[in-house]
Amino acid sequence: MSALADFERVDSGSGGAVLRFTGNLSLASLGDLPDRLDAVEGDVSRIDLSQVERIDTVGAWVVHRFARDKEAPVEGLQPASQHLFDQVVAAEHPIELPRKPASPFVHLLSEVGDAVLTAFHTLYGLLGFFGATLIAFWNVARHPSRFRFNATVHRFEVVGVSALGIIGLMSFLIGIVIAQQGAVQLRQFGAEVYTINLLGRITLRELGILMTAIMVAGRSGSAFAAQIGTMKLTEEIDAMRTIGVSPMEALVVPRVLAVVMMLPLLGFYSALIGIIGGGLLCWVQLDIPPVTFVQRIREVVPLTDLWVGLVKAPVFGAIIAIAGCFQGMQVEADAEQVGRRTTIAVVQAIFLVIVLDAFFAVFFTQVGWI
Amino acid sequence: MTAPTLSHDDDVVICVRGLKNGFGEQIVHEDLDLDVRRGEILGVVGGSGTGKSVLMRSIIGLQTPIEGEIEVFGENTIGRDETEATEIRKRWGILFQGGALFSTLTVSENVQVPLKEYYPKLDQALLEEIAAYKVVMTGLPPEAAPKFPAELSGGMKKRAGLARALALDPELLFLDEPTAGLDPIGAAAFDELTASLQKTLGLTVFLITHDLDTLYAICDRVAVLADRKVIAVGTIPELLALDHPWIQEYFNGPRGRAAVSSVKANAGHATEDRG
């Protein structure tokens, strides 16, 4: 039934060559016809379609393209097919083929340039968002009735209480690892007992809060970006604005406040569990009884270590929450962006937390909290 | 061996017999029969929740019915293996309600997806050209081709969806509420487009709609879904002669009458123009 599309060359004597098409000029039975047409050489004076059984728009296009290039008239179509052919011809317009990729070097340069520009753009936007958040806090402080107490408490639970399990488990294991690795190395100098110094100081000063920040960025920062991003897509944010509810006050303030309040608590909790984990290992492997362990901790860990950890925590919390909310607010257009922005929120939060941690380390050393 | 066909009439493109569909306890269709003839525009109407979209989804194989038989182009579509199903899929195009364009691809790439899937040998330049004229044929400006769906308005998305549905030059076109959410001018233009493409390409169109103007303007026949089945199929005058309360209310309600008068007014203009 569906004869493959084909053509033959007929020399009609006076007027040069005639190209006569046969079979089904439709997409399904086109085969390699386009390629074979490209290979036709020499002048063609006429294109005869009277032997064609069926023609569809793709077939019409292929013939039209050939006829246009050879400047040959097309003849012999049934009226209905002629109508279709005319419609296809009428729909022709110049197209821009996708640009050829530039040379790898130029491509690399432009990629780097793009990345730098994007980085500055993001930093600029993040600063702006930070300012907007501060203004929102100020507004809420001036009109305390606009503070969303229930929403904030709910965030406390989601960000803080629900994270206790996973953060506890993680810190416990990290405490064990640090104590074990420390003990192995320090044993070479017969200084195993200093494992306690190592463990106590590093968990309180750095690791407790840093690991917690990373975990919260992964758990809550991403959730903020996805929630707010989806709300942006479904026009909930716009609806809020038109009703007169400020999204900054209703969505961002409770979230930022929750993370800022919860991170010091979670960080302290994490350090404590880490020390317990390490203490357990000291007891089992190094035969240091818990009472001695606690005494040693009290002797070797200065109180400033605790302060170092606790001062950093709210700052990290603010970064995580603001990065999450900011990226959520940047979502536009389509669902793919929600995923991308969520990823960016987490990466950005963790990166900024670590950069700031380095600054803090230098700062605290300078002020003498060694 | 070929399975016995339900309808021996070659002019029937879609043939549904004894269809039963349901979700859990809730039965949507029961004992539903429907024929769609070659070359017609069949409008499918019914109240919300009468299963218009479910009927379309069963015909195109997205929903497996509990009972019943469905034939498209004389081939049973239920329980087919993938290769056989693919052969039928090549011959139809579907416009989903929201356009269902792939959001990560441009309009032009969207149109090329079915072409690349079924005819991987076509070269890229030809694909681009095919996509370009399809886009223009569906009434989009050529500048729309390299745009992403998110950059298009609702009406343009529908047209882009139609361009993708027509990518393979199908014989059968399913339209799910094509004019929903369009302004009246856009809706009328879309109706005109559907009718002219149907005429040019010789399509059979299965058209789900709520739009009375569409029904009057372009549908050859209308199928009414109610009480879990197709209660009547026919031209609008034939349906009006029936004594079913829903049909009467549907076509003779305030909106129905408005649509009739506008069609009559248009017809009057048309004859004046000719005169």
- pLDDT tens figures, A232-259: 888 888 888 888 788 898 899 999 999 9
Which ipTM was obtained for this model? 0.74
- Paired tokens of A139: 């507004």
Is the CB of residue B133 less than 8 Å away from at least one CB of chain A?
yes
pLDDT value of position A99: 65
Q: Which is nearest to B233 in space by CA: B6, B56, B46, B34?
A: B34
A108-117 pLDDT per residue, tens: 999 999 999 9
Segments of chain B scoring below 70 in pLDDT: 1-10, 263-275
**Cβ proximity of B216 and B259 under 8 Å:** yes
**Cβ proximity of B164 and B102 under 8 Å:** no
Q: How many residues does chain A have?
A: 370
Is the CB of residue A80 less than 8 Å away from at least one CB of chain B?
yes
3-state secondary structure of B134: helix
Euclidean distance between CA atoms A95 and A98, whole angstroms: 9
| Beta bridge partner(s), residue B204 | B172
Percentage of chain B beyond pLDDT 90 is 3
From the CB of residue A79, how many other CB atoms can be counted at a distance below 10 Å? 6
Percentage of chain A beyond pLDDT 70 is 96
| Beta bridge partner(s), residue B175 | B95, B207
| Beta bridge partner(s), residue A364 | none
φ, ψ at A107 (rounded to 5°): -60, -45
A68-97 pLDDT per residue, tens: 888 888 888 888 788 888 888 888 877 666
A-chain residue closest to B142, CA distance: A93
Euclidean distance between CA atoms A142 and A253, whole angstroms: 14
Decide if B149 and A334 are in contact by the 8 Å CB cutoff: yes
> In chain A, what residues touch B104 (CB-CB under 8 Å)?
334, 336
Decide if A336 and B103 are in contact by the 8 Å CB cutoff: yes
The answer to whether residue A24 scores a pLDDT higher than 70 is: yes
**Cβ proximity of B266 and B219 under 8 Å:** no
- Paired tokens of A185: 């190395």
B88-143 pLDDT per residue, tens: 888 888 888 877 888 888 899 899 988 888 888 888 888 888 888 888 888 888 88
Residue B252 makes CB contacts below 8 A (sequence gap 6+) with B240
Euclidean distance between CA atoms B93 and A145, whole angstroms: 57
- Paired tokens of B254: 């305030």
Euclidean distance between CA atoms A16 and A155, whole angstroms: 83
> In chain B, what residues touch A336 (CB-CB under 8 Å)?
103-104
Is the CB of residue A56 less than 8 Å away from at least one CB of chain B?
yes
Give the distance, in angstroms, between the CA of residue A347 and the centroid of all CA atoms in the same chain.
Answer: 8
**Average pLDDT value over all residues in chain A:** 89
Euclidean distance between CA atoms A226 and A231, whole angstroms: 8
A-chain residue closest to B203, CA distance: A56
pLDDT value of position B188: 86
Q: Which is nearest to B132 in space by CA: B163, B161, B159?
A: B163
A317-340 pLDDT per residue, tens: 999 999 999 999 999 877 788 999
Structural domains in chain B plus CATH codes = 36-48+92-274 (3.40.50.300)
β-strand pairing of B221-226 with B41-46:
parallel
pLDDT value of position B1: 36
The answer to whether residue A101 scores a pLDDT higher than 80 is: no
> In chain A, what residues touch B149 (CB-CB under 8 Å)?
334
Euclidean distance between CA atoms B62 and B94, whole angstroms: 12
Binding-face residues of B in 101-120 toward A, CB within 8 A: 103-104, 115, 119
pLDDT value of position B3: 45
The answer to whether residue A168 scores a pLDDT higher than 90 is: yes
pLDDT value of position A296: 93
Euclidean distance between CA atoms A32 and B123, whole angstroms: 10
Sequence-ordered alpha helix ranges (H) in chain A: 33-38, 57-70, 79-90, 104-142, 149-155, 164-187, 195-202, 208-216, 222-233, 236-243, 247, 253-285, 290-300, 303-330, 335-366
Q: Quote the Cα angle for A277-A280-A284, to 5°.
A: 145
pLDDT value of position A293: 93
Largest Cα–Cα distance of chain B, in whole Å? 59
Q: Kindly report the nearest CA distance between residue B240 and chain A, in angstroms.
A: 34
Is the CB of residue B143 less than 8 Å away from at least one CB of chain A?
no
When CB atoms are compared, the residue of B129, B145, B151 closest to A65 is: B129
φ, ψ at A230 (rounded to 5°): -65, -40
Decide if B103 and A335 are in contact by the 8 Å CB cutoff: yes
A272-317 pLDDT per residue, tens: 999 999 999 999 998 999 999 999 999 999 999 999 999 999 999 9
φ, ψ at A169 (rounded to 5°): -60, -45
Structural domains in chain A plus CATH codes = 6-90 (3.30.750.24), 114-366 (no CATH)
Q: Kindly report the nearest CA distance between residue B230 and chain A, in angstroms.
A: 33
